[in-house]
Amino acid sequence: MAAIDPVQSTTNPQARTDRLPAKLTVEPVELIGIGIAGWKRLWRLSFGTNIIQGVVNIGLVIAVVVLATQPAIVKFVAVNAEGGETPLITTNKPMMGDAAVLTFAQRAVEDSFSLGFASYRLDMQRARKFYSAAGWNGYLEALHKSHDLLAVRRRQLDMTVVVSGPPTVVRQGVQANGRYGWVVQMPVRLVFEGDGKRSANDWIMAIHLQRRSNLTNPYGIAIQHFRMLSAA
């Protein structure tokens, strides 16, 4: 049996690698990774981030609670034929100034009482937009009772009206039915022409106007009824 050489066994490379060193070298903590100072900075940064995130979360919770407990504000708007926004104004408010009311009243009178023999149907239909339902019925009744429409049709006359003086607002305010209203007076001259003849009469027109819903009425105001008083 061959003898084992102790010197040869200790010099074997495999044997050297399996052994632990007799003394371990300990490195200072400051030299490991980022060091204590780096960890402290990371901790402070993380702590500050958590505080900011907590404040933001509290703010979000408060906002959600406020939105949940307060009723939503809903705004309704009407859109006109041109696509523009039309403000919705309650009918107990005037909606327009006196100058606009007087302009409306004068235009309504001129369109309502300017009827041509060849176009009176179209002329009357054009005037329809100035009246409420009750006002329109009163307008038709007045034309028939005065025989003005009959004269236009049978005698083939053209009837025109001329506003002969400035219109004025004589009364305005909220009426018994809760709607805002105006009473407008204006002097007018009613003229009939045809077959080379011409006749004219002077009148005082008293027009009662009321606010209407501007969803159903293009002007938000309409003639409720009117009277023609002799100027003589």
* CB contact at 8 A, 224 and 132: yes
Q: Which residues contact 49 (CB under 8 A, 6 or more apart)?
A: none
Mean per-residue pLDDT for 211-218? 82
Rounded Cα gap, residues 78 and 47, in angstroms: 54
- Tens digits of residue pLDDT in 55-74: 888 888 888 887 778 766 66
pLDDT for 110 equals: 95
* CB contact at 8 A, 185 and 170: yes
- Tens digits of residue pLDDT in 143-178: 999 888 898 999 999 999 999 999 999 999 999 999
Mean per-residue pLDDT for 13-19? 52
Query: What domains can you pick out in the chain, each with its CATH number?
Result: 98-230 (3.10.450.230)
At position 169, the amino acid (one-letter code) is: V
pLDDT for 77 equals: 64
The reported pTM is 0.64
* CB contact at 8 A, 136 and 226: no
If DSSP states are collapsed to H, E and C, what string results for the chain? Answer: CCCCCHHHHHCCHHHHHCCCCCCCCCCCHHHCCCHHHHHHHHHHHHHHHHHHHHHHHHHHHHHHHHHHHCCCCCCCCEECCCCCEECCCCCCCCCCCHHHHHHHHHHHHHHHCCECCCCHHHHHHHHHHHECHHHHHHHHHHHHHCCHHHHHHHCCCEEEEEECCCCEEEEEEECCCCCEEEEEEEEEEEEEEECCEEEEEEEEEEEEEEECCCCCCCCCEEEEEEEEEECC
pLDDT for 54 equals: 81
How many of the other CB atoms lie within 10 Å of CB of 211? 25
pLDDT for 25 equals: 55
Rounded Cα gap, residues 151 and 224, in angstroms: 25
- Looking at the predicted structure, is the pLDDT value of residue 179 above 90? yes
